Structure 1
Amino acid sequence: MTPGAGPQKQFSSLWVSKTLPLLLVTGASVLMILSARGDLWHDEVWSILFAENARTPLELFFFKHDNNHLLNTLFLYLAGNQTHFIVYRLLSILSGIGSFLLLGHIARKLWGNRDAILALVLCGSSFQLILMFSEARGYAPAIFFSLLAFACLLHVGDPLKTLTLLLFWAACVLGILAHATFVIIFFAMLSYSLTLFSVAHKRGQKLYTQTIRLFFIYGPPAIFMTVLYLWFFSPMMIGGGPEVSKAQNILQSLSLPFGHIWKPKIAVVAFTVTALIMVAGCFLLFRQQNRLWSFFVASLIAIPVLIVGITRPSYFSPRYLTICLPFFYLLTARLLGTLVTSGKWNKWMAIFLVALFIAGNAQPMVSLLLNGRGHYKAALEAIIEHSDGDKVVISGNDYYKMMRLILFYRRFLPSSPEIQYAKPSEWEQQQPDWFITFSWRPEKQPLPLIVMPYIGSYALFGEYRYSGYGSGWHWFLYQKAPPKEQPVPAG
């Protein structure tokens, strides 16, 4: 299945064609490893607890929860208890490295060295991709297998190549096991194949032969996905997340290529630029008679809109569209590569857009490298250090989220004093010594004092921040004031 026009011969020197892409992949890999050093945040810990609660790998298929990304949870199950957090993230890191290698290969085979370098620059500086490639969840392997399946599809050929077809099937099966959003790319590939199917039919090829061929390529993975949907995804429990408006969700989703943007006016600009690039890139491929335009229209626009419109999910996060990002950058690289060779002003426009992508992603990237996804272990260590007696009682503004993190991190703390977590219904009896509040908003500022009815007041002890973007929470730690310092109730 050939996409149309072949690659152009560009940058024939060994430095540009071989060494520079390798350096770009190496640089992105270093960013991923540095980003994977810090504490595990709540959703990663939740996945680890799923893995630890399973007695056998098969039992993982019975935890029908949206935070149970099956392939990643299976890896965590096999990894077992680890003292170095980066081990839990190895699957994602390796998936990230493989994704960059595949992306460079795909862009080079389709459009040449220049576009491959541009694609690697854009992806290597993408905050959202580095974030997902350094996090112990299923998004990273889903991206890797989506790129692998796409690369296989382009090389299946006619007649069918058995090994490539088997690899395509395996990539689709592992991709959907990694994360449900893989289905976006699967349907986009099917849409692309259907356009080739119609072209083949117009050229006089037998309809029966083409139908059998199409079913042979997509049938086995489609059957597996259908069974998995009926068993696992359909009855799945949704854990939810921060509630935002539909308009804000749309803005943040189409702003992802420029990093995480909180300010509405800047998000509108990023949204507009992203939309224009998608339209211009797809039109460029259509004008060049490159049949891949149908794949990009489907993967970046039609399929996501169709899935959301049909399923109407109770909760939607912009990160669900992360799987589309590498393909957006691939399309952007084709557009920028064309601009570079089509005149002086277009060349400067391409340079400006690349600089805009890098600048937009730089701030959250630096913050991720410096602050990670939070400092939960350090907060609990501070509690241990500044507590007397053989027991310390902790509570917070969300029982289940706090409980999971404390349950995980207390295994790395001294055995004395013993940490207990008090539910809100137990506050009067337990009288918590410490109180923790959390927020995911970067601008959140904690109150200096919290007064809790019937149990006393709590003074701000410390702030334990995360990067402020994407994954993690700010923790605000409060210590109970001594009785003599308790405020006197009015009246």
Structure 2
Amino acid sequence: MVNRRFPVFVWVIVLLGLALRIASAQGGLWLDEAWSAELARQAHTPLGVFLNINHDNNHHLNSLWLQCVGFGAAPVLQRALSIAAGTITIAVAAEIFRTRSKGTALIAALLFAISPMVVTMGSEARGYACMTLALLVAILLIDRWLLDQRGERTRSRLALCFGLGVLSQLTMLFGCVALLGWVFFALWKRTGLVPAVRGTLTLFTPALVALAAVLGLVAGAAWASPTGFQFGDYKPFEILLFLHAIVEMLGYTIGWPVVSLWLIPAALILVVLARRAGARHLAFYRLAIVAFPVMLAVLHAGNPGHPRYYLLTAVALLLLIAETTGTMIARGGWQRVGARAALAAMLAGGLWQDVDLIRNQRGDPTPAITAMKARAPGGAVVVLDRPTGLAMLKSAAAHLRYPVDIIATGCKPAQFLFVDRFKGEDLPLAPQRCGAPYRAIAAARARGLSGTHWTLYERQP
């Protein structure tokens, strides 16, 4: 049932967010999504999702959904779970601030509806949208609990958030740590050290049990597997990769399309000034926006170059921006003018990036199958430049019901050659395979947070 406590504008914003996510979900599955679908298909059963896919590309709830709709389903249907979760997230973000200020609730809804970071994660077949929803619901529950520290149901609901959040995406673990720290520091300030420890453990004991159960299931399945836990791609920590990912995450969170290192000190200054700007949840903002990425840098965590790994920071930053701009607008004067100008700039930049995502569709691989179908209506043989593109082609071909024989390795005569590349890698202009020259006939270059560059070549006589 519609929550009539919200202004009608909030529901209009929710519908806008839904439209942006549906429009962004039309293209074929890109590399990570396609491999998620392929791994879910290979698992065969829901139990296999938990026991047989010991891979970082297995976001359990998303894999279950991909199994449910089928490998050859329309891409928008394969992404429907994320679309639904991402849309609900908009309403939950508004609900966090509803009792304090309807204006702030409206701003939060706008930011979560339009932020390119959240739109991207909410329109692809991965687990990040469901994880974000679980995180925001937990924030809402804790925000209400800190007012009076009552509610037995809060403990069980937090356990559900922790369990489902980690089953959605393992990086929810970072969010769990930030939530624990938030409650601890808030209680310590009120009651002292020992009561704060006791109160935090009392609130989170069921949640920690649920978290341990899920992590134990994942670890146990990996331990029992002959291959152990696998990573699709693993790169050691590099400071330049880390900084670039942080900057890219910040830019796509606030709708700033220009990559600039100045975004990092700007975010830090906002956190420092958060108290003066009227923010309440200071401990959470400091832990999620500052301590979390600093901890990863200190620990030299692997794979530092993926902006989506810092989604916790993006969520906290959006909440902080909503809270500070809402407060400044309410104060009036020059603060109102400045806050409105900053908010308008963020929303305009975010919409610009969203439109670019809708146009680009993460380097949609579907045209590769369309090009093969036009030249070989009865089916095609295509050789891969490297195995990474296998799942993308299989997924797109299954969706279009086109028979294609994909050669991942070896040297077999093939009419077509498919070459995929990541950002920063070049595509060959006139490649040769098995002694035969090939000419490009279709291509796409991905823009934004997700996607893969690719080119399809046809063998020349």
Q: TM-score range by the shorter chain?
A: 0.7 to 0.9
Q: Aligned pair in 2 of structure 1 residues 402, 47: CA closer, same or farther (>3 Å)?
A: same
- Please show how residues 272-351 of structure 1 align to structure 2 within 5 Å: 272-281=265-274, 284-285=277-278, 290=280, 292-310=281-299, 312-342=301-331, 344-351=333-340
Equivalent residue, structure 2, for 1:386: 375
Question: How many Å apart are 1:465 and its aligned residue?
Answer: 4.1
Equivalent residue, structure 1, for 2:130: 141
Counterparts of 2:335 and 2:264, CA distance in 1: 21
Q: Aligned pair in 2 of structure 1 residues 438, 364: CA closer, same or farther (>3 Å)?
A: farther
**Residue deviations 1:365-408 (CA, integer Å, cap 9, x gap):** 112112212332321231132138x763312322x222222233
**Residue deviations 1:212-267 (CA, integer Å, cap 9, x gap):** 54323212222332343355268632212799953243243244343289999742
Question: How many Å apart are 1:450 and its aligned residue?
Answer: 2.2
Q: Aligned pair in 2 of structure 1 residues 80, 387: CA closer, same or farther (>3 Å)?
A: closer
- Of the three residues 140, 151, 168, the one matched with 1:161 is 151
Is residue 178 of structure 1 aligned with residue 168 of structure 2?
Answer: yes
Q: Identity across aligned pairs (percent)? A: 22
- Of the three residues 412, 416, 421, the one matched with 1:434 is 416
- Of the three residues 384, 399, 405, the one matched with 1:420 is 405
- Of the three residues 203, 209, 214, the one matched with 1:228 is 214
- Please show how residues 342-361 of structure 1 align to structure 2 within 5 Å: 342=331, 344-361=333-350
Counterparts of 1:16 and 1:355, CA distance in 2: 25
In structure 2, what residue type is equivalent to 1:436?
F
Question: How many Å apart are 1:108 and its aligned residue?
Answer: 2.0
Contact 2:180–2:204 (Cα < 8 Å) also in 1: yes
Equivalent residue, structure 1, for 2:355: 366
Judge which range, 92-101 or 45-54, deviates more.
Answer: 45-54
Equivalent residue, structure 1, for 2:431: 450
Question: How many Å apart are 1:75 and its aligned residue?
Answer: 2.0
SS of the residue 1:281 aligns to: coil
SS of the residue 2:56 aligns to: coil
Counterparts of 1:82 and 1:414, CA distance in 2: 8
Counterparts of 2:254 and 2:274, CA distance in 1: 23
Q: Aligned pair in 2 of structure 1 residues 307, 226: CA closer, same or farther (>3 Å)?
A: farther
Using structure 1 for the length normalisation, give the TM-score. 0.82
Q: Aligned pair in 2 of structure 1 residues 189, 283: CA closer, same or farther (>3 Å)?
A: farther
SS of the residue 1:395 aligns to: strand
Counterparts of 1:114 and 1:264, CA distance in 2: 26
Q: Aligned pair in 2 of structure 1 residues 413, 178: CA closer, same or farther (>3 Å)?
A: closer
Question: How many Å apart are 1:436 and its aligned residue?
Answer: 1.8
Equivalent residue, structure 1, for 2:456: 477
Q: Aligned pair in 2 of structure 1 residues 267, 248: CA closer, same or farther (>3 Å)?
A: farther
SS of the residue 2:125 aligns to: coil
Counterparts of 1:90 and 1:362, CA distance in 2: 21
Equivalent residue, structure 1, for 2:82: 92
Q: Aligned pair in 2 of structure 1 residues 138, 459: CA closer, same or farther (>3 Å)?
A: same
Is residue 237 of structure 1 aligned with residue 230 of structure 2?
Answer: yes
Contact 1:119–1:333 (Cα < 8 Å) also in 2: yes
- Of the three residues 36, 43, 47, the one matched with 2:25 is 36
**Residue deviations 1:118-155 (CA, integer Å, cap 9, x gap):** 22222222111111111111000000000111111222
Is residue 217 of structure 1 aligned with residue 203 of structure 2?
Answer: yes
Contact 2:87–2:113 (Cα < 8 Å) also in 1: no
Q: Aligned pair in 2 of structure 1 residues 61, 370: CA closer, same or farther (>3 Å)?
A: same
Question: How many Å apart are 1:314 and its aligned residue?
Answer: 4.5
Question: How many Å apart are 1:77 and its aligned residue?
Answer: 2.3
- Of the three residues 65, 70, 74, the one matched with 1:75 is 65
Counterparts of 1:450 and 1:232, CA distance in 2: 42
* C-alpha RMSD of matched pairs (Å): 3.2
Counterparts of 1:376 and 1:472, CA distance in 2: 10
**Residue deviations 1:438-472 (CA, integer Å, cap 9, x gap):** 2344x9875542244x5121112122344x11222
SS of the residue 1:39 aligns to: coil
Number of matched residues?
449
Question: How many Å apart are 1:175 and its aligned residue?
Answer: 0.8
SS of the residue 2:441 aligns to: strand
Question: How many Å apart are 1:410 and its aligned residue?
Answer: 2.8
Give 5+ residue unaligned stretches, structure 1: 1-14, 483-491
Counterparts of 1:113 and 1:460, CA distance in 2: 54
Is residue 201 of structure 1 aligned with residue 191 of structure 2?
Answer: yes
Question: How many Å apart are 1:84 and its aligned residue?
Answer: 2.2
Equivalent residue, structure 1, for 2:225: none
Contact 2:440–2:458 (Cα < 8 Å) also in 1: yes
- Please show how residues 98-137 of structure 1 align to structure 2 within 5 Å: 98-109=88-99, 111-137=100-126
Equivalent residue, structure 1, for 2:383: 395
Counterparts of 1:126 and 1:261, CA distance in 2: 6
Q: Aligned pair in 2 of structure 1 residues 55, 297: CA closer, same or farther (>3 Å)?
A: same
Question: How many Å apart are 1:198 and its aligned residue?
Answer: 2.0
Counterparts of 1:303 and 1:414, CA distance in 2: 45
Q: Aligned pair in 2 of structure 1 residues 222, 64: CA closer, same or farther (>3 Å)?
A: same
Larger Rg: 1 or 2?
1
Contact 1:187–1:303 (Cα < 8 Å) also in 2: no
Equivalent residue, structure 2, for 1:405: 392
Judge which range, 304-313 or 376-385, deviates more.
Answer: 304-313
Q: Aligned pair in 2 of structure 1 residues 183, 33: CA closer, same or farther (>3 Å)?
A: same
Contact 2:418–2:455 (Cα < 8 Å) also in 1: yes
Contact 1:278–1:332 (Cα < 8 Å) also in 2: no
Judge which range, 251-260 or 359-368, deviates more.
Answer: 251-260
- Of the three residues 270, 286, 292, the one matched with 2:263 is 270
